Amino acid sequence: MAELRTFLEKCYADLNQWRSLREIYIVLGNESCDLDSAVSAIAYGFLLFKKNELENSMNQTVFPVLNVDRKHFPMRLEHCYLMNQLDINLEKLIFRSDINFEELIEAVNDMKITVKTYLVDHHVLSRNDDILRQTVCRIFDHRTLDEKNFCPGELRIEPVGSCATIISDEIFKEDFEIWNKDIAYLVYCTILMDTKGLRPKKGKTTALDMEIASKLERKFGFNKSNLYDKLKDLRCSTCHLTIDEMLIKDLKCSGSIAFSRIHVLAETFIAKDCAMDSLKEFCSKKKVSMIILIGSEANSKMKDMGLFFDTNNERFIRKFCQKLRENGMRDLPNILENFVVFKFEFQKLTRKEIIPIILNIYEELKTELTSH
Ligand SMILES: [Mn+2]
């Protein structure tokens, strides 16, 4: 019961006292820290833990490392959703920002500890992780081999839909039982995500993905039902993000204007508590005078654009909106004086197309801002 949670909490506790250990197994995913990387690191870490009987070991441990800064993890909603479902405390996961590889390697060089590194879901070390090179012993990946840059080590590389498929296969191959339902659920969900719901027509699913998924279904009674849609929605959803995180997640700044793509309608965004205050703060932090929110909703063709003006210059705002109307856009009756929403019902404007329109209008009108 709660075996996975106990495992993760032990790993985290060991992180704070690694100098007293003799042998450390690092399992490292890639820097995107997508679900595949995160889950593969945890699942393979768990395999090492069970296989080497580390439960009661005072001298050894595993660090399954999520290769991202701790503060950027909460934006990955589908990860957080699964962890919450399994009652796993995010505080007790090991993130890249929690661990100093330089110090570990120094201790290795001083023969104080031994480190063995396992790479999952990538096979080329990033510059940030390159210091681990001498310790890499095994690699599991599903992308095409980069012949020039691959890291040396015993390599299992197969073009399957998900690295979690390979890791699951490794777990099935062990001659004693490693599985528990939590680990199985994590890898099962990941395989679903990476194969777009195990639909061979989508071109991501291989025979091994299918085989592993159905083995897990039989063994644990999983059912893909609407799990894939749920996870996909989460990946696009923003309901757990703070307003600042929503703005930062997909941001482009150009001159005095910030263009942020958000996964809700701008109309919905502005209704959130403190949205206006956050926009104003964001402007001074990023040193911009306008924020353009390009809003869209998952599973809907609706799109809109919110314009936040960091000014109360009514004339400027009025003229700006008039210019957009001349470009064929329709605004909603506005309730807030320096936030205006334009709806795109028939047009399908992308950010790429919106940026030059907005910048041109701004260029044309900016003298209004100073002449006021
Ligand atoms: Mn992957």
Q: What CATH number corresponds to the domain at position 46?
A: 3.90.1640.10
CB atoms within 10 A of CB 112: 12
210 and 248 inside one domain: no
112 and 248 inside one domain: no
Question: Token match 């404007």: residue?
Answer: 349
**What does the buried/exposed string (b/e) look like for 153-189 if buried means 16 or more CB atoms within 10 Å of the residue's CB?**
beebbeebbbbbbbbbbbbeeeeeebbbbbbbbbbbb
Give distance in angstroms: CA of 288 to centre of ligand 1: 37
Give distance in angstroms: CA of 37 to centre of ligand 1: 6
Which residues keep their CB under 5 angstroms from ion ligand 1? 36, 121, 163
R_g of the chain computed on alpha carbons: 25
Give distance in angstroms: CA of 141 to centre of ligand 1: 7
Number of domains in the chain: 2
257 and 330 inside one domain: yes
166 and 259 inside one domain: no
200 and 308 inside one domain: no
DSSP H or E segment with residue 219: helix 207-220
Give distance in angstroms: CA of 30 to centre of ligand 1: 8
311 and 340 inside one domain: yes
231: left (phi over 0), alpha (psi -120 to 50) or beta: alpha
What is the full per-residue pLDDT of the chain (372 aa) written as tens digits?
A: 589 999 999 999 999 999 999 999 999 999 878 899 999 999 999 999 999 888 778 899 999 999 988 988 888 888 999 999 999 999 999 999 999 999 999 999 999 999 999 999 999 998 889 999 999 999 999 988 988 889 999 999 999 999 999 999 999 999 889 999 999 999 999 999 999 899 877 778 999 999 999 999 999 999 988 888 888 888 776 666 778 888 887 777 788 999 998 888 999 899 887 899 999 999 998 889 999 999 988 767 778 999 999 998 999 999 999 999 998 888 888 778 899 999 876 566 778 789 889 999 999 998 888 765
The amino acid sitting at 34 is D
32 and 167 inside one domain: yes
Residue 186 structure tokens: 């994590």
In degrees rounded to 5, what are phi and psi of residue 52? -95, 10
130 and 68 inside one domain: yes
Domain that holds residue 347: 240-371
* Domain end position, chosen among 202, 234, 266: 234
* Rounded Cα distance, 150 and 123, in Å: 5
Give distance in angstroms: CA of 197 to centre of ligand 1: 15
203 and 249 inside one domain: no
Give distance in angstroms: CA of 135 to centre of ligand 1: 22
* Rounded Cα distance, 45 and 346, in Å: 50
Give distance in angstroms: CA of 140 to centre of ligand 1: 10
* pTM, full prediction: 0.69
User: In angstroms, how far is CA 299 from the centroid of its own chain?
Assistant: 20
Give distance in angstroms: CA of 157 to centre of ligand 1: 11
Give distance in angstroms: CA of 132 to centre of ligand 1: 21
Q: Please list, in sequence order, all residues whose beta carbon lies within 8 angstroms of the beta carbon of residue 325, skipping any fewer than 6 positions away.
A: 331
159 and 277 inside one domain: no
109 and 230 inside one domain: yes
Give distance in angstroms: CA of 178 to centre of ligand 1: 22
130 and 148 inside one domain: yes
* Rounded Cα distance, 341 and 70, in Å: 34
